[in-house]
């Protein structure tokens, strides 16, 4: 609590020193922040709704069972497939892998590496491009998904080499 008081005091002293109206600057910043929120909300809502529809449709379960083999269980494939879409869903899958196979198992380590080395590409691109009102993502999505695919494959290969 004392840190907040010190921080606010420093800001007020600095604004007095620079002869800036701190209250008006705060109001202006709040207005700009609200405009950013209004610009971010529609693409973020569309993304959340589409991810939920995708997850609830059962497509992920079908894809996981279709592409699984002995080296990689379906949960790992699902995690790699879902990670670019939703970090929380990927985290839930990682937890299920921990419960099924164990944290220190080969598949637990794969899940950890996938979770740590990849990112929620589609969320990031929609969020940041929506923030600055860019409609055309050009190569951002393709590059991000390609990097996610590379990290997914490398996570499996590295775990198979080091831990199998």
Separation of alpha carbons 116 and 103, rounded Å: 14
The tokens of 146 are what?
A: 């390609």
Alpha helices in 19-73 (DSSP H): 22-56, 59-67
Rounding to the nearest 10 degrees, give the CA dihedral for residues 113, 114, 118, 119: -120
Asked, for residue 103, whether it belongs to a domain, the answer is yes
Is residue 38 domain-resident? no
In a domain, residue 154? The reply is yes
Query: Is residue 151 domain-resident?
Result: yes
Q: Is there a domain that residue 32 lies in? A: no
Please give the pLDDT value at position 119: 86
Mean pLDDT per 10-residue section of the chain, whose length is 164 residues: 91 90 90 85 78 75 68 84 84 90 93 91 82 81 91 93 88
Q: What is the pLDDT of residue 60?
A: 67
- Count of domains forming the chain: 1
CB within 8 Å of 54: residues ≥ 6 apart: 60, 85
Could you give the CA distance from residue 72 to residue 78 in angstroms, rounded to a whole number? 10
Stated pTM of the model? 0.64
SS3 state at 134: coil
Rg (CA), the chain: 22
CA–CA separation, 95 and 98 (whole Å)? 5
Residue 7 lies in a domain: no
* Structural domain contains residue 36: no
In 49-126, where do the E strands start and end?
A: none
| Any domain includes 138 | yes
Per-residue model confidence (pLDDT) at position 153: 92
Residue from 54, 31, 35, 33 nearest 123 by CA: 54
Structural domain for 99, as ranges: 43-163
């Amino acid at each position: 609590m004392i840190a907040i008081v010190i921080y606010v005091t420093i800001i007020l002293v600095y604004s007095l020193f620079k002869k800036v109206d701190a209250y008006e600057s705060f109001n202006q910043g709040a207005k700009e922040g609200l405009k950013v929120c209004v610009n971010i909300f529609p693409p973020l809502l569309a993304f959340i709704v589409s991810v939920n529809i995708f997850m609830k449709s059962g497509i992920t379960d079908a894809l996981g069972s279709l592409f699984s083999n002995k080296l990689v269980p379906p949960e790992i494939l699902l995690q790699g497939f879902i990670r670019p879409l939703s970090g929380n869903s990927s985290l839930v899958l990682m937890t299920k892998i921990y419960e099924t196979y164990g944290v220190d198992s080969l598949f637990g380590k794969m899940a950890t590496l996938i979770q740590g080395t990849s990112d929620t590409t589609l969320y990031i691109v929609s969020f940041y491009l929506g923030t600055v009102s860019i409609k055309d993502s050009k190569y951002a999505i393709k590059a991000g998904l390609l990097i996610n695919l590379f990290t997914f494959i490398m996570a499996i290969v590295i775990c198979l080499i080091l831990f199998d």
